[in-house]
Amino acid sequence: MTTITADRAPMAGMKVYHLKLGMWVFLLSEVMFFTGLIGAYVILRFAHPEAFGVPGEVLNVPLTAFNTFVLICSSVTMVKAFAAIEQNDQQGLQKWLLATIVLGASFVGVQAWEYTLLFSEGFVPMAESYHAIARGAAEGSEVIGGPLYGATFYTMTGFHGAHVSIGVFCLCFTLWRARKGAYTAGNLGGVEIMGLYWHFVDLVWILLFTFVYLI
């Protein structure tokens, strides 16, 4: 939301411009949103350890590890985009923004593919039709975990995926503005707060990957 607001000059004596402060404040509330989801997951998992599978049993860890790598790379390209506009390098800004968009969209694409695979294996959020089996096991094998596993998995990764998708959308908007020459070395607030959001989404994913896939 905040990315759309036009840049406004900082008041005299203020160390941070409004957009950047506003983004940091907004990210605080995002922290609380994911804290709520992860906290609920932790409580449910402690209360019902039998409803969750061991790492790698149902979920495809190597595929998601690759996806995590993609997202981390997108953070690097975002940094490169910001570094480029700091040098007033318009070409570099557009190039690295485009790279970030491609990487971010790839992450969402791989996640969507992962979802379809998991759905076909019976790993679904709906409590009544949950019948996840181990990866590679024959049809009709023992069901692993319970409905809470599917529900928490899709809720946490799904809301994160939604954040990445919104981020990609905002990145496209930033690129569109960059192509119109909206940013300069002296006016790069829009790129900087885009970067803040993007790094936050990346950081959340590292936590989620650890909690959901690795532990």
Partner 1 sequence: MSTTEKDIASAVDAGGQHDHHEIPWIRKYVFATDHKMIAKQFMFVSLFFLVVGGALAGMMRFQLGFPGQPMPGAGILPDAMMAPTPNGAIMLPEFYNSLVTMHGTIMIFFAIMPLLVGLFGNLLIPLQIGAEDMAFPRLNMASFWLAVPAGMLMLASFAVEGGAAGAGWTSYAPLSTSGEWTGVYLGQQLWLVSLTILGFSSLIGAVNYITTVINLRAPGMTWFRIPLATWSLFVTAVLILLAIPILAGALLMLLFDQTIGTGFFRPDVGGEPLLWQHLFWFFGHPEVYILILPAMGITSEVLSNRARKPIFGYHSMVLALISIGFLGWIVWGHHMFQSGMNPLLGTSFMISTMAIAVPSAIKTFNWLGTLWKADIHFDVPMLHALSFVSMFIIGGLSGIFMASTPVDIYIHDTYFIVAHLHYVLFGGSLFAIFAGITYWFPKMFGRMMNEPLGKVHFVLTFIFYNLVFFPMHNLGLQGMMRRIYDFTQYDFLQPLQPMNQFITLFAFALITTQVLFVINFFWSIFKGETAGNNPWNSNTLEWTVPSPPPHGNFAQMPTVFRGPYEYSSPESDDDFLPQTTPPREGPGPSSGVPAPTPTPEGAEV
Question: What residues from 77 to 136 belong to the interface with partner 1 (CB under 8 A)?
Answer: 125-128
Q: Is residue 138 close enough to count as binding partner 1 by CB under 8 A?
A: no
Q: What single DSSP character describes residue 175?
A: H
Report in angstroms how near the CB of residue 4 gets to partner 1 at its nearest: 8
b/e for 7-42, b at 16 or more Cβ within 10 A?
Answer: eeeeeeeeeebbbbeebeebbeeeeeebeebbeebe
Site string for partner 1, 29-68 (x = CB under 8 A): xx-xx-xxx-xx--xx--xx--x-----------------
Using alpha carbons, select from 31, 18, 30 the residue that is nearest to residue 193: 18
Is the distance from CB of 27 to CB of 15 less than 8 angstroms? no
Q: Please select the residue that binds partner 1; options are 14, 166, 206, 214, rule is CB under 8 A.
A: 14
Report in angstroms how near the CB of residue 47 gets to partner 1 at its nearest: 6
Q: Please select the residue that binds partner 1; options are 6, 49, 140, 142, rule is CB under 8 A.
A: 6
b/e for 72-97, b at 16 or more Cβ within 10 A?
Answer: ebbbebbebbbebbeeebeebbbebb
Using CB under 8 A, list all residues that contact partner 1.
1-2, 4-6, 8-14, 16-18, 21-22, 25-26, 28-30, 32-33, 35-37, 39-40, 43-44, 47-48, 51, 125-128, 146-148, 150-152, 154-155, 159
